[in-house]
């Protein structure tokens, strides 16, 4: 299969390195772009349009077809928009503990009410339109299945997340009806948001229309904590 893996907030393309190695060892082709606004040293003042253009540009300039387009977390919203732009290049979309945004909605629409003020406070503390995750929160809510060293190494990779694009209303008319099959890959130990207020599955997944469900154990950061397991599940989610 030909995978294009779209990372989430705070991450960059290199965060897929271990997953990529397992997929390549199994004979798959893997692309792991870093989105505009993410990664060390990047300019943080980016728009959703720039982000989507970058992924569409990669597919077009490299002539990639039959792509299994995977979005993790924030990356789900990018997959939705890319799919509306170049559906003919996609074999399947895979949403991995990922946002599925409603037509006209924003990524932040689904941040639970109990969490939004903390995000707001972190943003105001940074003062430059980005937010960085405190280690304790990242360790307990994102990396709950990691040992301390893995959590620390993962946290050290994170870079400040630009917030503005997650507040842009997205034009997603026609997404559900696109003739591109879709899977939701849900790591069931995800602890990012309170389960009484939010769920990746079935809340986000229910917005996909008909989809294939694939589940695995692991946290939101299973790309760090179980890359071999995730690679196997990406194949289950991505195959015909």
Which residues in this chain contact a copy of itself in the complex, by CB under 8 A?
136-137, 139-141, 144-145, 147-148, 181, 188-189, 191, 194-196, 201-203, 205-206, 210-215, 217, 236, 239-240
215 three-class SS:
strand
Residue 205 C-beta: closest distance to a copy of itself, Å? 8
Query: Which distant-in-sequence residues (6+ apart) come within 8 Å of 142 by Cβ?
Result: 133, 154, 191, 192, 219, 220, 221
Would you say 59 or 146 has its CB closer to a copy of itself?
A: 146
Q: What is the closest distance, in whole angstroms, from the C-beta atom of residue 212 to a copy of itself in the complex?
A: 4
Nearer to a copy of itself, 44 or 92 (CB): 92
CB nearer to a copy of itself: pick between 36 and 238: 238
* Min CB(162)–a copy of itself separation in Å: 25
Residue 85 or 102: the one with the smaller Cβ distance to a copy of itself is 102
C-beta separation of 182 from 93 below 8 A: yes
- Rounded to a whole number of angstroms, the minimum distance from the CB of residue 164 to a copy of itself is 26
123 and 129 in contact (C-beta within 8 Å)?
yes
Helix orientation angle between 227-238 and 17-25, rounded to the nearest 10 degrees: 60
Q: Closest Cα partner for 150 from 161, 134, 160, 135?
A: 135
Give the C-alpha separation, 223 to 231, whole Å: 8
Nearer to a copy of itself, 175 or 200 (CB): 200
Please state the closest distance from residue 194 (CB atom) to a copy of itself, in A: 6
């Amino acid at each position: 299969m030909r995978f294009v893996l779209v990372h989430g907030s705070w991450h960059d393309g290199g965060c897929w390195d271990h997953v990529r190695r397992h997929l390549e060892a199994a004979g798959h082709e893997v692309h792991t772009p870093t989105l505009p606004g993410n990664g060390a040293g990047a300019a943080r003042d980016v728009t959703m349009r720039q982000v989507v253009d970058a992924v569409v540009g990669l597919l077009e300039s490299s002539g990639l077809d039959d792509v299994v387009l995977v979005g993790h977390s924030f990356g789900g919203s990018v997959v939705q928009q890319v799919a509306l732009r170049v559906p003919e290049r996609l074999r399947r979309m895979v949403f991995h503990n990922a946002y599925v945004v409603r037509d006209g909605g924003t990524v932040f629409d689904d941040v639970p009410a109990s969490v939004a003020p903390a995000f707001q406070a972190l943003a105001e503390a940074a003062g430059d339109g980005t937010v960085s995750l405190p280690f304790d929160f990242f360790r307990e809510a994102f990396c709950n299945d990691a040992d301390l060293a893995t959590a620390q190494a993962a946290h050290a990779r994170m870079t400040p997340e630009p917030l503005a694009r997650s507040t842009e209303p997205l034009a997603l008319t026609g997404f559900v009806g696109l003739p591109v099959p879709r899977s939701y890959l849900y790591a069931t130990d995800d602890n990012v948001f309170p389960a009484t207020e939010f769920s990746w599955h079935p809340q986000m997944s229910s917005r996909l229309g008909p989809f294939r469900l694939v589940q695995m154990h692991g946290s939101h950061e299973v790309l760090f904590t179980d890359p071999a397991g995730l690679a196997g599940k990406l194949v289950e989610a991505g195959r015909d």
